[in-house]
A and B are shown apart, each in its own frame.
Chain A
Amino acid sequence: MTTTTRIERHHYDVVVIGAGGAGLRAAIEARLAGKKTAIISKSLFGKAHTVMAEGGAAAAMGNVNPRDNWQVHFRDTMRGGKFLNNFRMAELHAKESPQRIWELETYGALFDRTKDGKISQRNFGGHEYPRLAHVGDRTGLELIRTLQQKIVSLQQEDKREFGSYDARIRVFAETTITELLLDGDRVAGAFGYYRESGEFILFEAPAVVLATGGVGRSYKVTSNSWEYTGDGHALALRAGANLINMEFLQFHPTGMVWPPSVKGILVTESVRGDGGVLRNSEGKRFMFDYVPDVFRKQYAETEEEADRWYTDPDNNRRPPELLPRDEVARAINSEVKAGRGTPAGGVYLDIASRLPAEEIRRRLPSMYHQFKELADVDITKEPMEVGPTCHYVMGGVEVDPDTGAAIGHVQGLFAAGEVSGGMHGSNRLGGNSLSDLLVFGKRAGGHAASYADSLASRPKVAVQAVEAAVETALAPLQRDTGESPYTLQQDLQAVMGDLVGIIRREHELADALVRLAELRERVAKVSAAGGRRYNPGWHLALDLRNMLLVSECTAKAALERRESRGGHTREDYPTMDPQWRRVNLVCSLQGDTVRLERKPLPKMRPELITLFDRSELAKYLTDEELAEFDALAEKES
């Protein structure tokens, strides 16, 4: 084995795993703090899944409607998350996102503008005012490119100062981390491989920021790229951190359902924000039938009122097409199940009959382009066929809201972006993820840097741990009797898609856990053909164990939570239960098994909870909590 285990070693202060929005923002912050920073990118630099975000980045700048402020944004976020959010994260997010967006302009970002030259903001589902800074419908690309170019500019500074671009911040493209290495309960480094050569690489670093994104590849119909295998979730678990809220997965209501090859690709919500409506196969605009009581007050009851809202939002209620995503996804699901779906199993999203072709092309250029090229559908002429698709995981690493430090039995581990949990509660509002990346990316990067500073001595990587990591990584290549990783992935996707999908039932979830246990046996014996150089089969074999571990957390938590809330819908418990709102489900790893615990939600501070109407809180809180609120309100008045 000695010939195959050449390991390249690097020393860094901060290692950021993930090169999407959160990772890049974290790395920028760590580098600005003077730390030697490595960015590990699973793909090429600049290809991260962040590019897929279309709608925009939510920030209460008040450029379009001056009545917007952080309190309103905070309220919308908590509402969207059905009050399960970590309130402190929602608060920080609402307060800091405008600065984070403005900062991007100093890095060179070019957002669309208002008439007076400020950053334009658009309407989006769940946001009370137009709030999303955007660039047509390619905001994610703008964000990633801007951060990428900022990193390049920092490298150019370093080149001037030290003579090397890589002196203080280096991007390791097409590199995958398979294991975090610990010294006691402190992070000591990270181990992985270069895709290109299959050679191993070891980073010795006291602080690691996880920014690996989500878990969507465990699902059959998903908008997520191949990278989304829950790496960060699994690395955190194995290092002793906790995952929370893993039962909450967001199914985007409008993914493409035709042609089959692009099933799962998203149609941005802004199609609906700009006037697009949902119709079933009978031509009925059905969303009016699916407005839940909690939202009744804010949504129009007639098509006429809804249509007036686009031009006069102050005097009309919003169209029900702009309900939070899970409501729309459930409505579409119900229509299709009732036999009123399209031939491909979705519903129609119609913007063609609502706006002039020229206007559609101007407002939704890449959407137009995408449909034309991928499906030969002209969205200015015909409706789109859309349906729910797995899009985002709300759950993730349990973190300290202010620092992003992982909670559990590990120090020096930080998480930001989709891989962290709590910020979005049980459901994420569109547009909140891009601002989440920036706000908490910056925080995690900054705090990782100061943690690295605070250490008296550097943790040491144990030789045995590296040897074990090498062995685990090479195992699939050395077996030739196991199953193909592709087969195993398909089977995993089938289990998750069929049994832990958008609508869940107790017996199915129990069944899923049995099957996942079987799959675990099979994945332990997976074998990959071929060599170490750029071998996708081998890479998938290594990703599988992460996908499996994270899927197990999701299934366990989904079975445990006996209510429906946000991204978790139980057919056998169809309503929200105020008692369950007070509970976070926390997963941790004990030996080989996933342990699930209930943990009480942190209590909102008085000045924050009083931002809400009593009548609204009554829909979410227990009587006991309401009594407390009343006492509070009385004291204030």
Chain B
Amino acid sequence: MAEQSSPTAGKAAAKRQFRIWRGDENGGDLQDYMVEVNEGEVVLDVIHRLQATDAPDLACRWNCKAGKCGSCSMEINGKPRLACMTRMSTFEPDETVSVTPLRTFPVIRDLVTDVSFNYEKARETPAFAPPADVAPGDYRMQQVDVERSQEFRKCIECFLCQNVCHVIRDHEENKPAFSGPRFFIRAAELDMHPLDARTDRKEYAQAEMGLGYCNITKCCTEVCPEHIKITDNGIIPMKERVVDRRYDPLVWLGSKIFRRGETPQSSVTSARAAGPATPSTSRGGVHSHAGGSHDPKAEAQAQSGVNWHREVPHPTAPAVDERGKLPLTELTFDRAAAPSPFGDDVTFPLPPEHLNFAHPEQDKH
């Protein structure tokens, strides 16, 4: 915007005070700048002017300058915003504007942060699964059916929702187990895709992406520059449908005795479980989220001293006959009823010390 930096352009330009965070991973601080601001400008224009004048090496990401690429995410007066979409006219004429980098991600330099967390989560989210028997060109979908997913595909990946989400904003430890709102709507989008061949998107989100951590404070929706109803249209419906399945009497019964507070995971292939952000839960042994004790005292005890390395006893295989089938009748079977699917040596309720469940919030205390 060369023409605007010349003082002769347009109306008389006012000098405004800006405080911009300068520094890198070793630290930094807010620095004061007095900079010219013209009518109709946005914060990104002012940053560009600073680069062209006082601070040529001020680091800042930007691309389209039209709110379409989601590059210039930063915190302006503490609010996560796109700098290209923040009009200077929204501030009081004498207001100091402070600009800081996104807080949830590590700083690289000045206003640029390392957002690779989001790209890692993107890679972990299972891709669209094309229907096996539909040839390219033969996809048929109704507009009303694609519209629901299209809302989420408006996402410009500015990661403001990720930045503002309290689950990870000040909780580095939750990052491994939590994909964040951006990827919940990716899961929702695929869940609602009329032709996606995978049927376990919700369950996957719950079990592998940490959907359960979200307690719907709607901060993500509030900051979304594309006005995607992340919580109302994406997260809540997924949570509800996960719950629906739990209210199915059979599933409910199963979850009661098998995985209290968790959704059935049978359709999810990976072994990593949601819940506590401890990577060790993902491999080795059989880590069950089996619950059973309703004794609050025992539960508290178990929670305060969870031993992640202790393994729940392996369930034994059901007793099958020589054809590899479960014996069907009591007459030919050696016990009085059908064998337990959990193995004959597991009795319910499990003793609390055998439980591996921990509430996500437990580390706060």
Contacts and interface: CB of A to CB of B under 8 A. Distances in A.
Interface of A: 43-47, 49, 51-52, 61, 98-99, 102-103, 105-108, 110-113, 116-120, 135-136, 138, 141-142, 145, 149-150, 152-153, 155-156, 159, 165, 173, 196, 220, 225-227, 258-263, 265, 366, 369-370, 373-376, 484-487, 489-490, 493-494, 528-531, 533-538
Given A110-B193, A145-B153, A47 B66 contact: no
A225 B64 contact: yes
Given A46-B157, A135-B150, A262-B66, A369 B51 contact: no
Given A149-B127, A261-B45, A103 B156 contact: no
Given A52-B68, A225-B69, A490 B128 contact: no
B127 A110 contact: no
A110 B62 contact: no
Given A112-B146, A149-B128, A536-B57, A486 B66 contact: no
B137 A98 contact: yes
B141 interface: yes
B139 A45 contact: no
Given A145-B153, A196-B112, A260-B1, 8 more contacts: A51-B64, A106-B130, A136-B150, A153-B128, A263-B1, A265-B65, A490-B5, A537-B57
Contacts of B137: 61, 98-99, 102
A260 B41 contact: yes
Nearest to B150: A110
Nearest to B194: A110
Nearest to B70: A47
Interface of B: 1-5, 9-10, 24, 38-42, 44-45, 51-52, 56-71, 84-85, 87, 89, 108-110, 112, 114-115, 119, 122-123, 125-128, 130, 136-137, 139-143, 146, 149-150, 153-157, 190, 193, 196, 225-227
Contacts of A485: 56
Nearest to A104: B136
A43 B122 CA distance: 17
A533 B109 contact: yes
Q: Is the interface of B mostly helix, strand, loop or mixed?
A: loop
Contacts of A374: 42, 66-67, 84-85, 87
A118 B58 CA distance: 48
10 contacts: A102-B136, A110-B149, A110-B153, A138-B154, A141-B156, A149-B127, A260-B40, A261-B42, A529-B56, A533-B109
Contacts of A159: 123
A52 B61 contact: no
A434 B62 CA distance: 22
A529 B57 contact: yes
A103 B38 contact: no
Contacts of B119: 45, 173
A297 B261 CA distance: 71
A108 B193 contact: yes
Nearest to A136: B150
Given A260-B41, A528-B56, A113 B153 contact: no
Nearest to A228: B63
Contacts of B109: 533-534
Contacts of A107: 128, 130
Nearest to B148: A110
Given A43-B61, A138-B154, A533-B108, A51 B68 contact: yes
Nearest to A106: B130
A108 B64 contact: no
A486 B62 contact: no
A400 B128 CA distance: 34
Nearest to B10: A260
B85 A108 contact: no
B39 to A, nearest CB: 7
Contacts of B110: 534
A57 to B, nearest CB: 15
Contacts of B57: 528-531, 535-538
Contact of B127 (A156, A376, A537): A156
Contact of A138 (B45, B59, B68, B71): B68
A537 to B, nearest CB: 4
Nearest to A138: B154
A159 B270 CA distance: 13
B291 to A, nearest CB: 32
Contacts of B67: 369-370, 373-374
A103 B3 contact: no
A105 B139 contact: yes
A531 B2 CA distance: 25
A410 B49 CA distance: 41
A47 B63 contact: yes
Contacts of A494: 2
Contacts of A529: 56-57
A110 B68 contact: no
B149 A227 contact: no
A111 to B, nearest CB: 8
Contacts of B71: 43-44, 47
Please list the 9 inter-chain residue pairs (A to B) with the smallest Cβ-Cβ separation, ordered nearest first: A259-B40, A530-B57, A108-B128, A153-B127, A117-B140, A537-B56, A490-B2, A486-B52, A102-B136
Contacts of A366: 68, 154
A486 B51 contact: yes
